[in-house]
Structure formats: C-alpha cells, structure tokens
Chain A
Amino acid sequence: MKRVTDERLKIDMLKNIRIVFIFQTLGILAILIYTGISKGPDAAFHSPLSLVFYGTGVILGFQQLRVSADMDEMGKHKLKKPMPYYGLVLIALAVGLGAGLLTFLTDPLHKLNAWIIGGVFFICFLAAYSVGYFIKKKRAEDDEDE
C-alpha cells in the first residue's frame, strides 16, 4: 500500500479511525457487560478484554494531558509558583505513612502488609505528583522562552 502524504486524506483517515475506535469500544463494553450478566461480574473483571479497556483509558488519559484546558492560568499570564519537589515528596511520604499506619492499626499481626500498602501508596502518589510537577516545570520554562 502506498504511503499517504496528502494532508486532507490523513485527516479523513484519522476521522475514520475515530469511528472505528468508537465501534471497538462499544463492542468491548458489550462483551464485558454480556460476560458480567452471564458469568458473573468476577469473570468480567478478570477477562483480558477489561485489561485492554482499562489500558486504553489510561493511554487516552495520558495523551489528553497535553490537550486539556489550562488550569494554571491566573489572571494576566501570571503563573502560580509551583511547589518545590521535596514538598511533593513529603506529601507522598505522609500519605504513605498514613495508609501504612491505618493498615497496621486494623491488622497489627501482619506488619509486612502495612509496609507494602504504605509503600504502594507512597509510590503511586509520588508518581502522580511527579508527572504533574514536571509538566508544570516544563511549562514554566516554555513561558520563559516566550
């Protein structure tokens, strides 16, 4: 097949892919709902199709980060000063400690569980904050270039 260089056809192609994507998503949802009704919700959650569905959602959300509307614009092009990175690490650490402590208090026999849950909370929050932090930092640098 010849490679399409025509910009009009490229846009048309993207529009077609969008329709196919909608069709595919509806299909996956229909199969999951059918599995959920006929074999119980557990079977639907553990089906590889649900993994594909979640994965698509995550990828789409990640890609949309750059498309989303600007929340940081305050008044006349004045940006909120971003929190220093160690502040974010401290918040994530506090959340992790809180979650770990809560697990420890509800189930003091299994200390390892508390460590694992606390650690997972810490890593998840830190990762989410880091992505936001680096996007803001990059934006601040871009603004300086203007």
Chain B
Amino acid sequence: MMNHVKITRVEAGLTQQQLAEKIGVTRQTISLIEKGKYNPTLKLCLAICYTVNKTLDDVFWIEKEE
C-alpha cells in the first residue's frame, strides 16, 4: 500500500536506519513500507508517526481510488 513515509522521513532529516532504530524494527522493514510492499500494523504506523512528528493522516492517508 502506498504512503508518504519516505517524504516525511526525509523531511524529519532521518535515514532509514535511524528511523528503524528509533522504533525498534529493521531497516529492511522501513524500506519495504516505503515501497508499499509491507503492510505495517497500526501500532507500527503510530510509532512512525510519533517519531517523525506527523499525524496518521499526514503519513498514511491516501485518497480512495475510484
């Protein structure tokens, strides 16, 4: 599923490795989330949002496809 993790992470000035270490996952997981190849749990989504200081809407909201 697509999301804005990459943009918000870069805006927060973090590398994939730094973000991964802060929320206790592996860098590969962050990479897969950014590519839309792994569907994170709500818990992990919230952890990402807290770390980059954004809301769930900012990071994960995508418009419904018609």
Contacts and interface: CB of A to CB of B under 8 A. Distances in A.
B43 interface: yes
A143 interface: no
B38 A8 contact: yes
Contacts, number: 21
A8 B24 contact: no
Interface residues of B, number: 11
Label chain A's interface by main secondary structure. helix
B44 A7 contact: yes
Interface of A: 5-9
Interface of B: 24-26, 28-29, 32, 38, 40-41, 43-44
Given A6-B26, A7-B44, A8-B28, 18 more contacts: A5-B24, A5-B25, A6-B24, A6-B25, A6-B29, A7-B25, A7-B29, A7-B40, A7-B41, A7-B43, A8-B25, A8-B26, A8-B29, A8-B32, A8-B38, A8-B40, A9-B26, A9-B29
